[in-house]
Structure 1
Amino acid sequence: MKRIFMGVAALVLWAGTALGQANEAIEDVIGSQLQAFNDRDVTEAFSYASPMIQGIFREPQNFGMMVERGYPMVWDNSDVRFLDLREEQGMILQRVMIKDAEGVIHTLEYAMIETPNGWQINGVALVAPDLAA
Protein backbone atom coordinates (compact mmCIF):
# COMPACT_ATOMS: atom_id res chain seq x y z
CA MET A 1 0.00 0.00 0.00
CA LYS A 2 2.83 2.37 0.89
CA ARG A 3 4.47 1.65 -2.48
CA ILE A 4 1.24 2.55 -4.34
CA PHE A 5 0.88 5.78 -2.37
CA MET A 6 4.49 6.76 -3.13
CA GLY A 7 3.94 6.01 -6.83
CA VAL A 8 0.80 8.15 -6.96
CA ALA A 9 2.54 10.96 -5.06
CA ALA A 10 5.49 10.87 -7.48
CA LEU A 11 3.12 10.99 -10.47
CA VAL A 12 1.26 14.00 -9.05
CA LEU A 13 4.55 15.82 -8.39
CA TRP A 14 5.81 15.02 -11.90
CA ALA A 15 2.57 16.27 -13.51
CA GLY A 16 2.72 19.49 -11.49
CA THR A 17 6.35 20.03 -12.46
CA ALA A 18 5.67 19.33 -16.13
CA LEU A 19 2.76 21.77 -16.16
CA GLY A 20 4.89 24.35 -14.35
CA GLN A 21 7.62 24.03 -16.96
CA ALA A 22 5.06 24.40 -19.75
CA ASN A 23 3.57 27.51 -18.12
CA GLU A 24 6.20 29.96 -19.37
CA ALA A 25 6.22 28.52 -22.89
CA ILE A 26 2.41 28.67 -23.08
CA GLU A 27 2.34 32.27 -21.85
CA ASP A 28 4.99 33.17 -24.45
CA VAL A 29 2.91 31.66 -27.28
CA ILE A 30 -0.32 33.38 -26.25
CA GLY A 31 1.45 36.69 -25.56
CA SER A 32 3.23 36.54 -28.91
CA GLN A 33 -0.01 35.90 -30.75
CA LEU A 34 -1.73 38.76 -28.94
CA GLN A 35 1.14 41.09 -29.86
CA ALA A 36 0.95 39.94 -33.47
CA PHE A 37 -2.75 40.88 -33.55
CA ASN A 38 -1.94 44.31 -32.12
CA ASP A 39 0.71 44.67 -34.84
CA ARG A 40 -1.87 43.49 -37.42
CA ASP A 41 0.53 40.74 -38.46
CA VAL A 42 -2.05 38.02 -39.11
CA THR A 43 0.54 35.75 -40.71
CA GLU A 44 2.56 35.77 -37.47
CA ALA A 45 -0.60 35.35 -35.37
CA PHE A 46 -1.68 32.41 -37.54
CA SER A 47 1.66 30.68 -36.93
CA TYR A 48 0.74 30.20 -33.25
CA ALA A 49 -2.48 28.36 -34.16
CA SER A 50 -2.57 24.56 -34.06
CA PRO A 51 -2.63 22.49 -37.25
CA MET A 52 -6.37 21.93 -36.72
CA ILE A 53 -7.08 25.67 -36.55
CA GLN A 54 -4.82 26.32 -39.54
CA GLY A 55 -6.66 23.60 -41.45
CA ILE A 56 -10.04 25.17 -40.72
CA PHE A 57 -9.06 28.69 -41.81
CA ARG A 58 -6.44 27.72 -44.43
CA GLU A 59 -5.14 31.28 -44.87
CA PRO A 60 -3.93 33.84 -42.33
CA GLN A 61 -6.32 36.45 -43.74
CA ASN A 62 -9.35 34.21 -43.07
CA PHE A 63 -8.12 33.61 -39.54
CA GLY A 64 -7.50 37.32 -38.97
CA MET A 65 -10.98 38.21 -40.21
CA MET A 66 -12.56 35.68 -37.83
CA VAL A 67 -10.62 37.06 -34.87
CA GLU A 68 -11.38 40.69 -35.77
CA ARG A 69 -15.11 39.98 -36.05
CA GLY A 70 -15.57 37.26 -33.44
CA TYR A 71 -12.97 38.16 -30.82
CA PRO A 72 -12.52 41.95 -30.91
CA MET A 73 -10.94 41.87 -27.44
CA VAL A 74 -8.17 39.69 -28.88
CA TRP A 75 -7.83 41.77 -32.05
CA ASP A 76 -7.38 44.99 -30.01
CA ASN A 77 -5.97 43.81 -26.69
CA SER A 78 -4.11 45.42 -23.84
CA ASP A 79 -3.28 44.75 -20.20
CA VAL A 80 -3.00 40.98 -20.63
CA ARG A 81 -2.87 38.97 -17.41
CA PHE A 82 -2.33 35.26 -17.23
CA LEU A 83 -4.49 33.53 -14.68
CA ASP A 84 -4.59 29.81 -13.91
CA LEU A 85 -3.13 27.05 -16.05
CA ARG A 86 -4.68 23.65 -15.54
CA GLU A 87 -5.16 20.25 -17.06
CA GLU A 88 -8.77 19.13 -17.43
CA GLN A 89 -9.84 15.90 -19.08
CA GLY A 90 -6.53 15.66 -20.92
CA MET A 91 -6.63 19.27 -22.14
CA ILE A 92 -4.27 22.04 -21.09
CA LEU A 93 -6.26 25.22 -20.45
CA GLN A 94 -4.83 28.69 -19.81
CA ARG A 95 -7.10 31.45 -18.53
CA VAL A 96 -6.21 34.94 -19.69
CA MET A 97 -7.71 38.28 -18.67
CA ILE A 98 -7.62 40.86 -21.47
CA LYS A 99 -8.68 44.49 -21.65
CA ASP A 100 -10.27 45.48 -24.97
CA ALA A 101 -10.03 48.78 -26.86
CA GLU A 102 -12.85 50.31 -24.78
CA GLY A 103 -11.25 49.27 -21.49
CA VAL A 104 -13.66 46.40 -20.81
CA ILE A 105 -12.08 43.35 -19.21
CA HIS A 106 -12.74 39.89 -20.65
CA THR A 107 -11.64 36.45 -19.53
CA LEU A 108 -10.76 33.89 -22.15
CA GLU A 109 -9.71 30.29 -21.93
CA TYR A 110 -7.06 29.08 -24.35
CA ALA A 111 -6.88 25.37 -25.18
CA MET A 112 -3.23 24.50 -25.78
CA ILE A 113 -1.57 21.52 -27.41
CA GLU A 114 2.05 20.53 -27.57
CA THR A 115 3.20 19.76 -31.10
CA PRO A 116 6.59 18.97 -32.64
CA ASN A 117 6.80 22.75 -33.25
CA GLY A 118 6.16 23.54 -29.58
CA TRP A 119 3.00 24.75 -27.85
CA GLN A 120 0.20 25.96 -30.11
CA ILE A 121 -3.26 27.40 -29.57
CA ASN A 122 -5.99 24.88 -30.33
CA GLY A 123 -8.99 27.08 -29.52
CA VAL A 124 -10.18 30.04 -27.48
CA ALA A 125 -13.43 30.48 -25.60
CA LEU A 126 -14.86 33.51 -23.85
CA VAL A 127 -15.52 32.66 -20.21
CA ALA A 128 -18.81 33.87 -18.78
CA PRO A 129 -18.27 36.59 -16.12
CA ASP A 130 -19.69 34.44 -13.31
CA LEU A 131 -17.28 31.62 -14.21
CA ALA A 132 -14.22 33.86 -14.57
CA ALA A 133 -13.40 34.03 -10.86
Structure 2
Amino acid sequence: MRRLSLCLAFALLLIAPPRAALAQEAEIQNTIRSQIDAFLADDFVTAFTYASPNIRAVFGNPENFARMVTQGYPMVHRPREVTMGEMHDEGGVLWQRVEVTDAQGRPHVLDYQMVNTPEGWKINAVDVLRAEGLGV
Protein backbone atom coordinates (compact mmCIF):
# COMPACT_ATOMS: atom_id res chain seq x y z
CA MET A 1 0.00 0.00 0.00
CA ARG A 2 2.82 2.37 0.87
CA ARG A 3 4.47 1.62 -2.45
CA LEU A 4 1.24 2.46 -4.31
CA SER A 5 0.96 5.75 -2.41
CA LEU A 6 4.54 6.67 -3.30
CA CYS A 7 3.94 5.82 -6.97
CA LEU A 8 0.80 7.96 -7.05
CA ALA A 9 2.57 10.86 -5.36
CA PHE A 10 5.44 10.64 -7.83
CA ALA A 11 3.04 10.48 -10.79
CA LEU A 12 1.24 13.59 -9.55
CA LEU A 13 4.55 15.43 -9.31
CA LEU A 14 5.28 14.56 -12.93
CA ILE A 15 1.95 15.77 -14.30
CA ALA A 16 1.23 18.70 -12.01
CA PRO A 17 3.06 21.93 -12.85
CA PRO A 18 5.16 23.30 -9.99
CA ARG A 19 3.65 26.11 -7.95
CA ALA A 20 6.36 28.51 -9.11
CA ALA A 21 5.42 27.89 -12.75
CA LEU A 22 1.74 28.51 -11.98
CA ALA A 23 2.59 31.73 -10.15
CA GLN A 24 4.78 32.86 -13.05
CA GLU A 25 2.00 32.14 -15.56
CA ALA A 26 -0.48 34.09 -13.42
CA GLU A 27 1.90 37.07 -13.25
CA ILE A 28 2.43 37.01 -17.01
CA GLN A 29 -1.29 36.80 -17.73
CA ASN A 30 -1.97 39.61 -15.25
CA THR A 31 0.57 41.83 -17.06
CA ILE A 32 -1.15 41.23 -20.40
CA ARG A 33 -4.66 41.73 -18.99
CA SER A 34 -3.56 44.91 -17.20
CA GLN A 35 -2.16 46.37 -20.39
CA ILE A 36 -5.35 45.52 -22.29
CA ASP A 37 -7.41 47.12 -19.50
CA ALA A 38 -5.30 50.27 -19.88
CA PHE A 39 -5.90 50.24 -23.66
CA LEU A 40 -9.65 49.95 -23.07
CA ALA A 41 -9.44 53.04 -20.84
CA ASP A 42 -7.27 54.86 -23.42
CA ASP A 43 -4.65 55.11 -20.68
CA PHE A 44 -1.57 54.74 -22.86
CA VAL A 45 0.72 56.10 -20.13
CA THR A 46 -0.14 53.09 -17.96
CA ALA A 47 -0.18 50.70 -20.94
CA PHE A 48 3.34 51.85 -21.82
CA THR A 49 4.57 50.74 -18.36
CA TYR A 50 3.78 47.11 -19.26
CA ALA A 51 6.09 47.25 -22.29
CA SER A 52 9.64 45.98 -21.95
CA PRO A 53 12.56 48.40 -21.75
CA ASN A 54 13.40 47.53 -25.39
CA ILE A 55 9.89 48.43 -26.59
CA ARG A 56 9.89 51.64 -24.53
CA ALA A 57 13.25 52.57 -26.11
CA VAL A 58 11.95 51.92 -29.64
CA PHE A 59 8.81 54.05 -29.23
CA GLY A 60 10.23 56.62 -26.83
CA ASN A 61 6.97 57.81 -25.31
CA PRO A 62 3.36 56.76 -24.71
CA GLU A 63 2.06 58.85 -27.62
CA ASN A 64 4.18 57.00 -30.20
CA PHE A 65 3.27 53.71 -28.53
CA ALA A 66 -0.43 54.63 -28.71
CA ARG A 67 -0.19 55.30 -32.45
CA MET A 68 1.47 51.93 -33.03
CA VAL A 69 -1.17 50.06 -31.02
CA THR A 70 -4.23 51.80 -32.46
CA GLN A 71 -2.98 51.49 -36.05
CA GLY A 72 -1.22 48.12 -35.91
CA TYR A 73 -3.12 46.19 -33.25
CA PRO A 74 -6.74 47.41 -33.24
CA MET A 75 -7.90 44.01 -31.98
CA VAL A 76 -5.86 44.58 -28.80
CA HIS A 77 -6.84 48.23 -28.46
CA ARG A 78 -10.56 47.45 -28.48
CA PRO A 79 -11.11 43.73 -27.83
CA ARG A 80 -14.57 42.35 -27.26
CA GLU A 81 -13.19 39.24 -25.59
CA VAL A 82 -9.76 38.05 -24.42
CA THR A 83 -8.91 34.44 -23.58
CA MET A 84 -5.54 33.28 -22.33
CA GLY A 85 -4.16 30.19 -24.04
CA GLU A 86 -1.10 28.14 -23.27
CA MET A 87 2.27 29.50 -22.33
CA HIS A 88 5.21 27.99 -24.18
CA ASP A 89 8.98 28.22 -24.12
CA GLU A 90 10.93 28.64 -27.34
CA GLY A 91 14.66 28.47 -26.76
CA GLY A 92 14.40 29.96 -23.29
CA VAL A 93 11.96 32.69 -24.36
CA LEU A 94 8.48 32.61 -22.84
CA TRP A 95 5.46 33.20 -25.06
CA GLN A 96 1.87 33.52 -23.88
CA ARG A 97 -0.82 32.61 -26.44
CA VAL A 98 -3.81 34.97 -26.35
CA GLU A 99 -7.04 34.62 -28.31
CA VAL A 100 -8.77 37.93 -28.95
CA THR A 101 -12.15 38.66 -30.46
CA ASP A 102 -12.13 42.16 -31.93
CA ALA A 103 -14.94 44.72 -31.81
CA GLN A 104 -16.41 43.32 -35.06
CA GLY A 105 -16.48 39.77 -33.68
CA ARG A 106 -13.46 38.51 -35.67
CA PRO A 107 -11.12 36.10 -33.87
CA HIS A 108 -7.36 36.69 -33.68
CA VAL A 109 -4.56 34.59 -32.19
CA LEU A 110 -1.54 36.38 -30.80
CA ASP A 111 1.67 35.33 -29.09
CA TYR A 112 3.05 37.69 -26.45
CA GLN A 113 6.80 37.44 -25.86
CA MET A 114 7.49 38.08 -22.19
CA VAL A 115 10.66 39.16 -20.40
CA ASN A 116 11.30 39.21 -16.68
CA THR A 117 12.71 42.52 -15.48
CA PRO A 118 13.49 43.91 -12.02
CA GLU A 119 10.06 45.61 -12.27
CA GLY A 120 8.31 42.31 -13.07
CA TRP A 121 7.12 40.68 -16.29
CA LYS A 122 6.96 42.95 -19.33
CA ILE A 123 5.72 42.52 -22.89
CA ASN A 124 8.60 42.42 -25.36
CA ALA A 125 6.75 41.60 -28.60
CA VAL A 126 3.35 40.62 -29.93
CA ASP A 127 3.11 38.33 -32.94
CA VAL A 128 -0.21 38.05 -34.77
CA LEU A 129 -0.56 34.43 -35.81
CA ARG A 130 -2.64 32.94 -38.58
CA ALA A 131 -5.55 31.22 -36.88
CA GLU A 132 -6.31 27.79 -38.36
CA GLY A 133 -9.42 27.88 -40.46
CA LEU A 134 -9.54 31.68 -40.45
CA GLY A 135 -8.65 34.15 -43.13
CA VAL A 136 -6.66 36.31 -40.74
Which TM-score applies when normalising by structure 2? 0.82
Corresponding residue of 1:66: 68
The structure with the larger Rg is 2
TM-aligned CA deviation for residue 131 of structure 1: 9.1
Partners of 1:131 and 1:33 lie apart in 2 by 28
Partners of 1:70 and 1:51 lie apart in 2 by 20
**CA deviations over 1:62-87 (Å, ceiling 9, x no partner):** 00100100011011112110000111
Partners of 1:112 and 1:131 lie apart in 2 by 27
From 53, 77, 80, give the equivalent of 1:78.
80
Q: Tell me the SS of whatever aligns to 1:95.
A: strand
Corresponding residue of 1:128: 130
Corresponding residue of 1:24: 26
From 94, 105, 111, give the equivalent of 1:109.
111
Matched-pair identity in %: 40
Corresponding residue of 1:33: 35
TM-aligned CA deviation for residue 129 of structure 1: 1.3
More helix by share: 1
Q: RMSD between aligned alpha carbons?
A: 2.0
TM-aligned CA deviation for residue 111 of structure 1: 0.1
Amino acid at match of 1:95: R
TM-aligned CA deviation for residue 108 of structure 1: 0.4
Note the residue ranges of structure 2 that are not aligned, 5 or more in a row. Answer: 1-13
Moved over 4 A (4+): none
Q: Tell me the SS of whatever aligns to 1:121.
A: strand
Q: Tell me the SS of whatever aligns to 1:129.
A: coil
**CA spacing shift, 1:117–1:131, aligned 2, 3 Å:** farther
Corresponding residue of 2:93: 91
Note the residue ranges of structure 1 that are not aligned, 5 or more in a row. Answer: 1-12
**Segment drifting more, 77-86 vs 54-63:** 77-86
